[in-house]
C-alpha cells in the first residue's frame, strides 16, 4: 500500500502533503493524552503489520490494520499512522519521505471514515458489532486501494493498469483484515469495552 519515491507527480505529492498535514493537525488537537499509550500501541501494530509486504510495481501489498486503528482512534489515527510511516521509511525504506503525505492520506483517511461509519454501529448493536468490524476492516483496505489507484491515475494514464492490479491484489488483504478486525472488536467488547468508540455515549441498556 506504500507508494515509492519518484513515482507521483509534484501536484499529487503537494496535495497529499497538505491534506495529511491538515488531518494530522486535527488528530493532534483531538488527542486524549490519557489514552496516549493506546495510540502508541496501535501505531506499533500498524508499523509491524507492514513489515511483510509484497512489491507490486510502484506500490506494495501488505496488512495495514487501518480499519481497526481508525475504529479505536478516530482522527488520532492520522498522527499514529504518520509516525509509523516515518519509521518505516527511515528504517526499512518502505514508501519514502516525499510520499509521506500521500501514503498517510491513503491509509489514514479510510481509517477515520471507518470510525464515523461503524463506530456508532458497534456501540448501538452489540450483537452485530463483529459484523460491523468486518465491514470496517474490509472497507478500509478497499478504500485505501482505491485511493492508491486514484493517485497513480492522477499522475499519469500509463499507471491505469497497475492501479487496477493494486486493487485486485488487495482483495485477500481486505478479507483477512475484515476477519481480524471483527475478532478484535468482539474481544474488546468483552474485556475492554471502554476502548471502543462511543462507549460512554451508548451502553447495552439503552441500545436497540
What is each CA distance from 134 to 74, 103, 178, 179, in whole angstroms? 17, 23, 4, 6
Mean pLDDT rounded to a whole number for the chain: 85
Is the residue at 201 inside a domain? Answer: no
CATH number, domain of 104, equals 1.10.1760.20
pLDDT digits (tens, 9 = 90+) for 145-194: 999 989 988 887 777 888 888 888 888 889 999 999 999 988 988 888 88
Instruction: Read off the pTM.
Output: 0.86
Q: What's phi and psi for 196, nearest 5 deg?
A: -80, 150
Q: Print the domain residue range for 97.
A: 10-195
Q: What's the confidence (pLDDT) of residue 5?
A: 82
Residue 142 has pLDDT above 90, yes or no: yes
Query: In the chain, how many domains are there?
Result: 1
Amino acid at each position: 500500500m506504500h507508494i515509492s519515491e519518484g513515482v507521483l507527480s509534484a501536484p499529487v505529492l503537494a496535495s497529499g502533503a497538505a491534506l495529511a498535514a491538515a488531518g494530522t493537525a486535527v488528530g493532534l488537537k483531538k488527542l486524549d493524552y490519557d489514552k496516549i499509550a493506546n495510540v502508541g500501541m496501535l501505531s506499533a501494530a500498524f508499523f509491524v503489520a507492514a513489515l511483510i509486504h509484497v512489491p507490486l510495481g510502484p506500490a506494495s501489498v501488505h496488512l495495514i490494520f487501518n480499519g481497526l486503528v481508525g475504529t479505536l482512534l478516530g482522527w488520532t489515527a492520522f498522527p499514529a499512522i504518520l509516525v509509523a510511516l516515518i519509521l518505516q521509511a527511515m528504517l526499512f525504506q518502505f514508501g519514502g519521505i516525499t510520499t509521506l503525505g500521500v501514503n498517510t492520506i491513503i491509509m489514514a483517511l479510510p481509517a477515520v471514515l471507518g470510525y464515523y461509519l461503524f463506530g456508532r454501529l458497534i456501540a448501538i448493536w452489540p450483537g452485530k458489532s463483529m459484523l460491523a468490524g468486518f465491514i470496517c476492516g474490509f472497507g478500509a483496505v478497499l478504500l485505501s486501494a482505491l485511493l492508491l489507484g486514484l493517485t497513480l491515475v492522477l499522475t499519469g494514464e500509463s499507471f491505469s493498469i497497475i492501479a487496477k492490479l493494486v486493487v485486485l491484489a488487495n482483495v485477500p488483504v481486505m478479507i483477512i483484515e475484515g476477519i481480524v478486525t471483527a475478532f478484535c472488536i468482539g474481544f474488546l467488547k468483552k474485556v475492554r469495552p471502554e476502548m471502543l468508540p462511543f462507549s460512554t455515549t451508548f451502553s447495552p441498556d439503552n441500545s436497540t
